[in-house]
Protein backbone atom coordinates (compact mmCIF):
# COMPACT_ATOMS: atom_id res chain seq x y z
CA UNK A 1 0.00 0.00 0.00
CA UNK A 2 1.54 3.32 -1.09
CA UNK A 3 0.61 6.33 0.95
CA UNK A 4 1.37 9.90 -0.13
CA UNK A 5 1.18 13.15 1.80
CA UNK A 6 0.09 16.28 -0.04
CA UNK A 7 1.14 19.16 2.22
CA UNK A 8 0.37 22.86 2.01
CA UNK A 9 -1.13 25.93 3.58
CA UNK A 10 -4.42 25.55 1.66
CA UNK A 11 -5.47 29.11 2.60
CA UNK A 12 -7.88 28.30 0.97
CA UNK A 13 -7.90 25.15 -1.18
CA UNK A 14 -8.17 26.13 -4.87
CA UNK A 15 -9.32 24.28 -7.97
CA UNK A 16 -5.62 23.76 -8.75
CA UNK A 17 -5.08 21.98 -5.41
CA UNK A 18 -8.20 19.90 -6.00
CA UNK A 19 -6.93 18.83 -9.41
CA UNK A 20 -3.67 17.62 -7.84
CA UNK A 21 -5.58 15.81 -5.07
CA UNK A 22 -7.78 14.03 -7.62
CA UNK A 23 -4.82 12.96 -9.75
CA UNK A 24 -2.81 11.86 -6.69
CA UNK A 25 -5.81 9.82 -5.53
CA UNK A 26 -5.59 7.87 -8.81
CA UNK A 27 -1.84 7.29 -8.45
CA UNK A 28 -1.57 6.32 -4.77
CA UNK A 29 -3.53 3.89 -2.60
CA UNK A 30 -3.98 6.53 0.07
CA UNK A 31 -3.48 10.31 0.04
CA UNK A 32 -3.28 12.43 3.18
CA UNK A 33 -3.87 16.11 2.53
CA UNK A 34 -1.88 17.71 5.34
CA UNK A 35 -2.47 21.31 6.37
CA UNK A 36 0.50 23.16 7.81
CA UNK A 37 -0.96 25.64 10.30
CA UNK A 38 2.23 27.51 11.14
CA UNK A 39 3.74 28.71 7.89
CA UNK A 40 5.42 32.11 7.70
CA UNK A 41 2.46 33.35 5.68
CA UNK A 42 -0.29 35.14 7.62
CA UNK A 43 -3.33 32.96 6.91
CA UNK A 44 -6.81 34.38 6.31
CA UNK A 45 -8.50 31.15 7.39
CA UNK A 46 -8.02 29.40 10.72
CA UNK A 47 -6.62 25.87 10.66
CA UNK A 48 -10.06 24.49 11.52
CA UNK A 49 -11.65 26.42 8.63
CA UNK A 50 -9.01 25.17 6.17
CA UNK A 51 -9.49 21.59 7.40
CA UNK A 52 -13.26 21.84 7.20
CA UNK A 53 -13.21 23.23 3.62
CA UNK A 54 -10.75 20.54 2.53
CA UNK A 55 -12.88 17.80 4.10
CA UNK A 56 -15.93 19.06 2.22
CA UNK A 57 -14.19 19.21 -1.16
CA UNK A 58 -12.48 15.83 -0.66
CA UNK A 59 -15.51 13.90 0.58
CA UNK A 60 -16.07 12.18 -2.77
CA UNK A 61 -12.57 10.64 -2.75
CA UNK A 62 -12.68 7.43 -0.71
CA UNK A 63 -8.88 7.15 -0.37
CA UNK A 64 -8.21 10.77 0.63
CA UNK A 65 -8.07 11.95 4.23
CA UNK A 66 -7.43 15.42 5.61
CA UNK A 67 -5.25 16.20 8.60
CA UNK A 68 -2.99 18.91 9.96
CA UNK A 69 0.58 18.68 11.13
CA UNK A 70 3.25 20.64 12.94
CA UNK A 71 7.00 20.11 12.91
CA UNK A 72 8.93 18.60 10.05
CA UNK A 73 6.95 17.31 7.10
CA UNK A 74 9.18 14.27 6.68
CA UNK A 75 8.58 13.26 10.32
CA UNK A 76 4.85 13.48 9.71
CA UNK A 77 5.22 11.42 6.51
CA UNK A 78 7.29 8.74 8.27
CA UNK A 79 4.90 8.59 11.23
CA UNK A 80 2.03 7.91 8.81
CA UNK A 81 3.84 5.34 6.69
CA UNK A 82 3.98 7.65 3.68
CA UNK A 83 6.76 7.03 1.16
CA UNK A 84 5.84 9.97 -1.05
CA UNK A 85 5.30 13.71 -0.73
CA UNK A 86 3.19 15.12 -3.55
CA UNK A 87 3.81 18.69 -4.73
CA UNK A 88 2.16 20.61 -7.55
CA UNK A 89 4.38 22.60 -9.89
CA UNK A 90 2.85 25.52 -11.75
CA UNK A 91 5.72 27.34 -13.41
CA UNK A 92 9.50 27.52 -13.49
CA UNK A 93 9.24 30.11 -10.69
CA UNK A 94 7.95 27.37 -8.33
CA UNK A 95 10.77 25.05 -9.24
CA UNK A 96 13.73 26.61 -7.46
CA UNK A 97 12.15 26.66 -4.00
CA UNK A 98 10.46 23.29 -4.46
CA UNK A 99 13.75 21.74 -5.54
CA UNK A 100 15.44 23.15 -2.42
CA UNK A 101 12.70 21.72 -0.18
CA UNK A 102 12.73 18.35 -1.96
CA UNK A 103 16.49 18.06 -1.60
CA UNK A 104 16.42 19.05 2.07
CA UNK A 105 13.58 16.62 2.77
CA UNK A 106 15.55 13.90 0.97
CA UNK A 107 18.57 14.63 3.13
CA UNK A 108 16.40 14.39 6.25
CA UNK A 109 14.59 11.23 5.17
CA UNK A 110 15.97 9.50 2.03
CA UNK A 111 13.19 6.92 2.12
CA UNK A 112 10.53 9.57 1.48
CA UNK A 113 10.35 10.63 -2.18
CA UNK A 114 9.01 13.94 -3.45
CA UNK A 115 6.80 13.48 -6.50
CA UNK A 116 6.07 16.58 -8.57
CA UNK A 117 2.88 16.84 -10.55
CA UNK A 118 2.53 19.55 -13.19
CA UNK A 119 -0.65 21.55 -12.81
CA UNK A 120 -3.04 21.57 -15.73
CA UNK A 121 -2.59 24.64 -17.98
CA UNK A 122 -5.87 26.19 -16.85
CA UNK A 123 -4.61 26.26 -13.26
CA UNK A 124 -1.03 27.33 -13.98
CA UNK A 125 -1.61 30.95 -12.91
CA UNK A 126 -3.70 30.08 -9.86
CA UNK A 127 -2.66 30.52 -6.23
CA UNK A 128 -4.49 30.94 -2.94
CA UNK A 129 -2.98 34.43 -2.59
CA UNK A 130 -4.21 35.66 -5.98
CA UNK A 131 -7.67 34.20 -5.32
CA UNK A 132 -7.88 36.07 -1.98
CA UNK A 133 -6.73 39.31 -3.59
CA UNK A 134 -9.26 39.08 -6.43
CA UNK A 135 -12.10 38.26 -4.01
CA UNK A 136 -11.08 41.05 -1.60
CA UNK A 137 -11.19 43.55 -4.48
CA UNK A 138 -14.65 42.41 -5.57
CA UNK A 139 -13.64 40.26 -8.54
CA UNK A 140 -15.22 36.91 -9.36
CA UNK A 141 -13.37 33.78 -8.27
CA UNK A 142 -15.95 31.43 -9.77
CA UNK A 143 -14.26 28.27 -11.00
CA UNK A 144 -10.95 29.22 -9.41
CA UNK A 145 -12.02 27.63 -6.13
CA UNK A 146 -14.67 24.97 -5.40
CA UNK A 147 -18.17 26.47 -4.90
CA UNK A 148 -18.22 25.82 -1.16
CA UNK A 149 -14.88 27.67 -0.82
CA UNK A 150 -16.13 30.59 -2.91
CA UNK A 151 -19.17 31.07 -0.63
CA UNK A 152 -17.10 30.81 2.53
CA UNK A 153 -14.38 33.13 1.20
CA UNK A 154 -16.90 35.86 0.39
CA UNK A 155 -18.51 35.53 3.87
CA UNK A 156 -15.10 35.58 5.55
CA UNK A 157 -14.01 38.71 3.69
CA UNK A 158 -17.28 40.46 4.53
CA UNK A 159 -16.71 39.61 8.23
CA UNK A 160 -13.13 40.89 8.04
CA UNK A 161 -14.31 44.14 6.42
CA UNK A 162 -17.06 44.56 9.07
CA UNK A 163 -14.53 43.95 11.87
CA UNK A 164 -12.09 46.40 10.27
CA UNK A 165 -14.78 49.09 10.06
CA UNK A 166 -15.61 48.64 13.77
CA UNK A 167 -11.99 49.17 14.85
O1 LIG B 1 1.30 25.69 0.48
P2 LIG B 1 2.68 26.08 0.91
O3 LIG B 1 2.62 27.24 1.88
O4 LIG B 1 3.61 26.33 -0.23
O5 LIG B 1 3.27 24.81 1.72
C6 LIG B 1 4.57 24.84 2.26
C7 LIG B 1 4.79 23.61 3.16
C8 LIG B 1 3.77 23.56 4.25
C9 LIG B 1 4.68 22.36 2.31
C10 LIG B 1 6.23 23.72 3.74
O11 LIG B 1 6.37 24.95 4.37
C12 LIG B 1 6.54 22.59 4.72
O13 LIG B 1 6.85 21.51 4.31
N14 LIG B 1 6.45 22.91 6.03
C15 LIG B 1 6.66 21.94 7.09
C16 LIG B 1 7.96 22.23 7.87
C17 LIG B 1 9.14 21.55 7.20
O18 LIG B 1 9.22 20.35 7.10
N19 LIG B 1 10.08 22.39 6.72
C20 LIG B 1 11.27 21.94 6.05
C21 LIG B 1 11.03 21.87 4.55
S22 LIG B 1 12.50 21.49 3.71
| C-alpha 166 to ligand 1 mean position (Å) | 35
Our count of domains for the chain comes to 1
| Confidence band for 167, pLDDT divided at 50, 70 and 90 | low
| C-alpha 73 to ligand 1 mean position (Å) | 7
Angle at 49 between CA 157 and CA 58, to 5 degrees: 115
pLDDT, position 114: 98
pLDDT, position 166: 67
**What are 76-109's pLDDT values in tens digits?**
999 999 999 999 999 888 999 999 999 999 999 9
Range of the domain at 117: 3-166
pLDDT, position 18: 98
DSSP character at residue 70: -
Catalytic residues: 17, 41, 90, 128
pLDDT, position 136: 94
Sign of CA dihedral 87, 144, 120, 92: negative
Task: Give, using CA atoms, the residue closest to atom 6 of ligand 1.
Answer: 8
133 phi, psi to nearest 5 deg: -65, -45
Output the pTM of the full model.
Answer: 0.95
Task: Give, using CA atoms, the residue closest to atom 4 of ligand 1.
Answer: 8
| C-alpha 8 to ligand 1 mean position (Å) | 6
Pocket of ligand 1 (CB under 6 A): 7-9, 36, 39, 72-73, 101, 104-105
Q: Are 63 and 30 in contact (CB under 8 A)?
A: yes
Give the CATH number of the domain where residue 106 resides: 3.40.50.620
Query: Does residue 158 carry a pLDDT above 70?
Result: yes
**What are 16-34's pLDDT values in tens digits?**
999 999 999 999 999 999 9
Task: Give, using CA atoms, the residue closest to atom 21 of ligand 1.
Answer: 101
**What are 33-85's pLDDT values in tens digits?**
999 987 777 899 999 999 999 999 999 999 999 999 999 999 999 999 999 99
Query: Does residue 162 carry a pLDDT above 90?
Result: no
The length of the chain is: 167
**What are 113-151's pLDDT values in tens digits?**
999 999 999 999 999 999 999 999 999 999 999 999 999
Ligand 1 mutation target, pool 4, 9, 16, most atoms within 8 A of CB: 9
Amino acid sequence: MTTAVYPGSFDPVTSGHLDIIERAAHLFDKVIVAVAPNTQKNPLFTTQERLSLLRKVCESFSNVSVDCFSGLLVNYALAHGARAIVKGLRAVSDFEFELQMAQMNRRLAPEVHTVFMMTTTEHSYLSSSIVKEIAALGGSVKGLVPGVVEDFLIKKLQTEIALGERE
